[in-house]
Amino acid sequence: MDELLQALAQGLLIGSTYGLLALGMGLIYSVSGIVNFSHGDFVSLGMYLCFALFGALALDPYVSLAVTLPVMLIVGALIYRFLIQPVAEAHALMVVQLTLGVALALQNGILMVFGGQPHRVPSVVEAKLVMLGNVVMRMPHVVAFVASLALATALFVVLRSTDIGRAIRAVHQNARAAALMGVDVNRVKVMTFAVGIGLLAIAAALLAPGTPLMPSMGLRYTVITLLALVLGGMTNFLGIMVAGLVIGVSEALGMIYLSDTLGMILPYAVFVLIVLFRPEGILGQSRS
C-alpha cells in the first residue's frame, strides 16, 4: 500500500509539470495552429542555461530563472517572428518540419557547447525530503508540483479575466472577428509563442534538480507533451492538466509495478486506450 501511495505521489508531482508543459504547447497551438516539435528541446535549453548559470555564478536553478525567463521569452518571440511567421501560410505539416529543424539545431547546439556527457544542476533543496504519513517525497518534486499548479491557475485567471487573455481567446475562436475588433492578431501570436516558451523556462527550472542533463533529452519531453495535449483535448485547460497527471501517474505506476518493458509502455498504452474511447479528450474539448 505504501508503495502504491509512493508511486501515486511521485506520478502526481511530476505529472503536474507535464501538465504545465502541455499547457504551454496548447496555448501556442490554440492561437497559431502550430505543433511545436522543438517544445522539449526548449525545456532542455532552459535546463542547460540553469547549468551554465550555476557553473558561472553558482546560482540555484530557481534563482537563475531571473535570467533564463527573460532570455527564453525573447528567444521565443524572435523565433516566431523571424522563422515561423514567414511560413505561417504554408501547410501545417511543413511548419512542423520547420520546428523539427529548430529542434535539431537546438539539440546539437547544446551538444556543441556543453558536450555529450551527462551534467547535473544541483539545488539547495535537492536533498531535502518531505514526509506525508509514510510517503516520502523529494523536495524538488514538491516545489515543482506547487509551482506548476500555481502557474496553471495564474494562466487560467489571466485568460479568463484580463483583456489580454480575452484577446488571446478571441484570436483562437475567430481570428478574423478579433482583427475587426482592433486586435493586432500578429502581435498576439508572437506574444503567445513567447509566453509558451517562457513557460518552458520555468518548467525547466522546476524539472532540473536531480535530472541528468543530456542533449538528446528534448525529444522525450516533446513526446510526453504531445501526448498530454491530445489526451487533454487540445484546448481544454483543466483537461490538459489532468492529462499530465494521468501520464505522470501511469509512468510512475508502470515503473514500480510492471517489468521493465511493460512498465515503459504503460503511459503510451493508457494514452491510446483513453484517446480511442474518448477522442475529444479526457474532459472533452474546449470549454476554454
Contact residues toward another protein (CB under 8 A) are 35, 83, 86-87, 89-91, 93-94, 96-98, 100-112, 115-116, 163, 166-167, 169-170, 173-174, 176-184, 215, 219, 223, 226-227, 230, 234, 260-261, 264-265, 268-269, 271-272, 275-277, 279, 286-288
CA 150 – CA 138 distance, rounded (Å): 19
Which is it for the CA torsion 211, 212, 217, 220, positive or negative?
negative
> In the bound complex, what is the minimum distance in angstroms from residue 73's beta carbon to another protein?
21
- Non-local (6+) Cβ contacts of 206 within 8 A are 17, 20, 140, 143, 144, 147, 148
28 vs 103, beta carbon nearer another protein: 103
Contact 23, 148 (CB under 8 A): no
Helix, strand, coil abundance in the chain, percent, nearest 5: 75, 5, 20
> In the bound complex, what is the minimum distance in angstroms from residue 78's beta carbon to another protein?
13
86 vs 118, beta carbon nearer another protein: 86
Query: What SS3 class is residue 119?
Result: strand
> In the bound complex, what is the minimum distance in angstroms from residue 258's beta carbon to another protein?
12
> In the bound complex, what is the minimum distance in angstroms from residue 65's beta carbon to another protein?
26
> In the bound complex, what is the minimum distance in angstroms from residue 94's beta carbon to another protein?
6
62 vs 271, beta carbon nearer another protein: 271
71 vs 219, beta carbon nearer another protein: 219
> In the bound complex, what is the minimum distance in angstroms from residue 243's beta carbon to another protein?
12
Q: Which segments of 174-210 does DSSP mark as H helices, in order?
A: 175-180, 185-207
How far, in Å, are 18, 118, 148, 232 from residue 152 at the CA level?
Answer: 11, 30, 6, 14
**Ramachandran angles phi, psi of 137, nearest 5°:** -125, 140
13 vs 227, beta carbon nearer another protein: 227
94 vs 127, beta carbon nearer another protein: 94
Residues forming beta bridges with residue 119, ordered by sequence position: 213
C-alpha cell at 53: 548559470
